[in-house]
Structure 1
Amino acid sequence: MEKVVKKFMLISLGLMLTTHALAVDGVKTVIKGTVNNRSIKVINIFKREMMRRPAASGIVKLNGQFQLTMDLKAAGFYLVSDSANKIKGFEMYLNPGDQISMEIVNDDFTLSGKGSVVNQLLYDLNRKYPYNESDPASHSQTYHHRIQAIQSSTVAEVIRKKSLLLGNAQGEYLNKVYGKLIESRVYPLMSSIMEVNFMDFDIRLLPEIVIYPNWSQLITEMMFSKMNAGRLKVHNINTWIADFGNLIENQRLKEDYVLAMLESSVSYGDFVSINEVIKVTLPLLKDQKKITRIKALKAKVAQRIGFYKNVMPGTDLSKYTFKDVNGNQVSISDFKGKLIYIDVWTTGCMPCMAEAPYLKRLEHEMQGEEIVFLSISCDSGAETWKKTLKSYKLDGGLQLLMNGYDDPFFEKIGKSAVPRFLILNREGKMLDYNSCKRPSNPLLKIYLTELVNKTK
């Protein structure tokens, strides 16, 4: 009996050690199979994130066989493709311990093994209902076809993961609608502004959409579309997060979104009115853990606000001078009596260039208002600056040049990343030292209109 007890204890200890090892090291996830295209040399698996990074690679042998092994800590979405883009890749949902066999014949995938059922569905949806990139108007129909297919499935594994699959499908749909628009604000299309015609306003946002990488940004873009269509009213600039959140029916998603937006505002240094914004949004929350996280943001603001200590609200910047395209000296004091919006940029900054056409449009829309828009470049060479102005058709408006990154003005505001947007009052004194509502953000016009009216 004693031997039996000892043996049982040893087995139990072994199981405990094994469980601990699996928790620390992750369970091996294996994808293996064959491919009939000899020009395909490597099969890759990428982690689905904003910045794509490889998770595993498998060399295709002469007989067409390959194998990829991963140590996954948690389940998630991945993208499978080949190194030469010979096959049309698709998204997979992988769990720790999945053992998937994959047969690739031409551009057709047949999956089997543990974890294959849901992934075969994802592949089939991608093939049967592909998004037509050249026909954005068809995206809504494609999305609803995919949703119907997921909801009507009688496969047990699909039913168990239905909520996750529906949330992922919704995120992918909104990314098809808004993804290129978001990208264009980082990699601009010269002097043009990309427009999106979104009409699927009755779509009910699902809490599982949060599994999609840029879910909160996609929801924000959808809310911008509702604003432009007159279906969403922002009461004032401090209520925008609450106004957007109130249109989200699901309480869990509403709270996730509000928290994500507040944390994003703090991370970008949008501090001037953050305490008021937090005050307005807190009543929307019921989850005490989220409420605690939001209240903790005030301490983060207090820690980081020191970076702007030289340009706090009320700081006088009226004495600073710059040169225009003709070499004439222009001072901030020249615009006394008007609100001043300043865009600090440089020609080598793609996001800066992406905002330029939006700023030009905003200046046109607010023509006649008591506000002036100054674009101040921190380039050190006038010729490159002038050439860029001409290339991007920015020769109109008040384009000014400081004396490079060592200019006293740039020193004063803190040598931060660009683009950087500042707002000065009618005396040339600081109102907002880091306006994170960029010209491409529809909220900026609301903000500036409020400031113009408030300072009359």
Structure 2
Amino acid sequence: MKTNILMAILLMINSLTMAQERSAKVVLQLSSLTNSDSISIVAERYGQLSTRSDRTEAVYTAALKGKSAQFKIPVFDHPMRFQIRLDSKEPAAVKYGPGLFNLQTSFYFLENGDDILIRETNGHIECSGHGYEKIQLIDELNKLASRYGSPGSYNDHGKIKAYLDSRDTLFLEQVALVKKSRDLISPEMRSLLQAEVTGNYLSRFNILFNALKRSEWMKDSISTYRQQNRVSLDTARLNDEPVMGYSASYPFGLLAEYQLDSVVLANKAFDLAKCYHYFKSNYDGYLRERVIMELIYNNKRQETDIAGLCKDALTYFENRDFRDGLEALLKVRKDRDVIYQFSLTDKKGNKIPLSAYKGKILFLDFWFTGCGSCLHMPPVIKNVMAKLAGEPVVYLSISIDRSKAIWLKNARSGAYTTAGEVDLYTEGLGIEHPITKYFDITGAPTIILFDKQGRFVDLPEPAAARRDNGKRIIEIIKGQLAR
């Protein structure tokens, strides 16, 4: 008995040690660099997980020795996506030159035991070493994709048909290339690349969605095209593959396919709860959890009861990272007084604690210089302020600009702000400021409403606010005032 227990403990220790030792080596030799001190690699466990954290994304930086940098990167028991990022000191002419531009904009994968050399000479990229075959394969897949563009016109039946036919051709060519290279890459890598290719194919209608909503002839054309069944998809097999939850594009492809079939072509409004229950009922495992987590996160501005969906999903979610993403959304919606823990800087450089506004409804308006959509928000906010004049509502205009001088200049111009708002600044930290990180603000415009007790109330959708000139926002605030 004691021997069996001892053996079990030793096996456990051995497993943990092996897990800890999983790593991949990458050496970059880039001859075109001129001013760089270092190079970074961004490693992403799930490709592009919307709810990012230190557990799901990491940045590794290595100092340059000559024009070479070496990395030893911890990896998992599945292929992990990575991207190369050059030093900001490097001039644009170098960054966007041939070879280096493609190297920075491509997403590659690492696996345990890889020892890869990526060499750039005069814009030409060469790879060698253990595991280099998948780097070459991804470059070849990208070259195929670069041959095919967008429709060019959304009013020309012929161009729409040519675009869709080209996406069929691209999919078939990429699938054939992955199949041809099957003996050069691991089974997990093969499945993941098939998922990436399929996810991109399923998302081919995304570029047409806005036009589809307005055009009946295009809907008929798309329906006819799909009935031709030129491409046969084996999504049932892919869904059973363990690595599907780690794909960057496959979960989004499944969501795009649902959007096309159940919303656009069905002439129905998108119903988040209905979409949620569809994926809950028809999928399982980590893939189901990944799709549902992305679905909820990317629709967090919907009027639907997001907190209710999060709570329901947490009853069956097993993946820790996906659970963390949902719990973060819930936390924002249930924490009391948390908004009062933050401070921001005013035009005079004074730290303004948001606790100074206790007892009043808070309207937070996040923006940055150069944000086209942000320019459309001041008229909406002006209307909200006019309709609620005299009410205990404080309007905070919060810039996430990196440059204080640029913020001050544009705050004074009135292009992004409204008279009567309190102008505040995230101190040059942008979206890395504690307030933007806590409330997961990754872009602008973003509006958040809090009640008189500092509790989260709503995250209104800016486009919807522009369409109704802030009517729903006014109704939400009036509802809070009546309590």
Q: Percent identity?
A: 12
Choose the corresponding residue for 1:163, options 191, 201, 206.
Answer: 191
- Is 2:272 the partner of 1:240? yes
Give the alignment's Cα RMSD to 1 decimal: 6.3
Q: Secondary structure at the match of 2:125?
A: strand
Q: Which runs of 5+ in 2 are unaligned?
A: 1-9, 49-56, 88-93, 154-162, 213-217, 227-232, 341-360, 400-407, 425-433
What does residue 27 of structure 2 align with?
31
- Is 2:41 the partner of 1:46? yes
Work out whether residues 379 and 402 of structure 1, in 8 Å CA contact, stay in contact via their aligned partners in 2: no
Return the alpha-carbon distance in structure 2 between the equivalents of residues 81 and 166 of structure 1: 26
Choose the corresponding residue for 1:289, options 318, 342, 355.
Answer: 318
Structure 1 residue 386: deviation in Å? Answer: 7.6
Return the alpha-carbon distance in structure 2 between the equivalents of residues 402 and 101 of structure 1: 54
The amino acid of 1:76's aligned partner reads M
Alpha-carbon displacement from aligned partner over 1:229-280 (angstroms, at most 9, x marks no partner): 4547457xxx514425626964443432224455788xx899994454457x
Structure 1 residue 353: deviation in Å? Answer: 5.3
Distance 1:222 1:91, change over 3 A: same
TM-score, with structure 2 as normaliser: 0.50
Alpha-carbon displacement from aligned partner over 1:130-168 (angstroms, at most 9, x marks no partner): 277787786946852564334532532447122211233
Work out whether residues 26 and 71 of structure 2, in 8 Å CA contact, stay in contact via their aligned partners in 1: yes
Q: Secondary structure at the match of 1:289?
A: coil
Q: Which runs of 5+ in 1 are unaligned?
A: 1-13, 182-194, 311-340, 406-414
Structure 1 residue 71: deviation in Å? Answer: 3.5
Distance 1:173 1:352, change over 3 A: farther
Matched pairs, number: 354
Return the alpha-carbon distance in structure 2 between the equivalents of residues 46 and 108 of structure 1: 20
Return the alpha-carbon distance in structure 1 between the equivalents of residues 262 and 413 of structure 2: 33
Distance 1:56 1:175, change over 3 A: farther
Alpha-carbon displacement from aligned partner over 1:308-332 (angstroms, at most 9, x marks no partner): 799xxxxxxxxxxxxxxxxxxxxxx
What does residue 346 of structure 2 align with?
none
Distance 1:234 1:99, change over 3 A: same
Choose the corresponding residue for 1:79, options 83, 87, 95.
Answer: 83
Structure 1 residue 422: deviation in Å? Answer: 3.5
Q: Aligned runs of 1:224-239 on 2, under 5 Å?
A: 229=264, 231=266, 233-234=268-269
Work out whether residues 75 and 110 of structure 2, in 8 Å CA contact, stay in contact via their aligned partners in 1: no
What does residue 439 of structure 1 align with?
462
What does residue 180 of structure 2 align with?
153
What does residue 258 of structure 1 align with?
292
Work out whether residues 41 and 60 of structure 2, in 8 Å CA contact, stay in contact via their aligned partners in 1: yes
Return the alpha-carbon distance in structure 1 between the equivalents of residues 186 and 268 of structure 2: 38
Structure 1 residue 97: deviation in Å? Answer: 1.8
The amino acid of 1:401's aligned partner reads G
Structure 1 residue 122: deviation in Å? Answer: 0.8
Work out whether residues 40 and 82 of structure 1, in 8 Å CA contact, stay in contact via their aligned partners in 2: no
Return the alpha-carbon distance in structure 1 between the equivalents of residues 329 and 276 of structure 2: 25
Structure 1 residue 76: deviation in Å? Answer: 1.2
Distance 1:97 1:258, change over 3 A: same
Return the alpha-carbon distance in structure 1 between the equivalents of residues 335 and 145 of structure 2: 49
Distance 1:385 1:77, change over 3 A: closer
Return the alpha-carbon distance in structure 1 between the equivalents of residues 12 and 279 of structure 2: 48
Alpha-carbon displacement from aligned partner over 1:190-214 (angstroms, at most 9, x marks no partner): xxxxx96689997969655643569
Which stretch of structure 1 is more off in the superposition, 22-31 or 156-165? 22-31
TM-score, with structure 1 as normaliser: 0.52
Which one has a bigger Cα radius of gyration? 1
Q: Aligned runs of 1:94-113 on 2, under 5 Å?
A: 94-102=110-118, 104-113=120-129
- Is 2:335 the partner of 1:305? yes
Q: Aligned runs of 1:379-418 on 2, under 5 Å?
A: 387-389=412-414, 391=415, 399-403=418-422
Q: Secondary structure at the match of 2:292?
A: helix
Return the alpha-carbon distance in structure 2 between the equivalents of residues 232 and 24 of structure 1: 51
Distance 1:142 1:72, change over 3 A: farther
The amino acid of 2:180's aligned partner reads S
Return the alpha-carbon distance in structure 2 between the equivalents of residues 231 and 111 of structure 1: 48
Q: Secondary structure at the match of 2:337?
A: helix
Work out whether residues 99 and 115 of structure 1, in 8 Å CA contact, stay in contact via their aligned partners in 2: yes
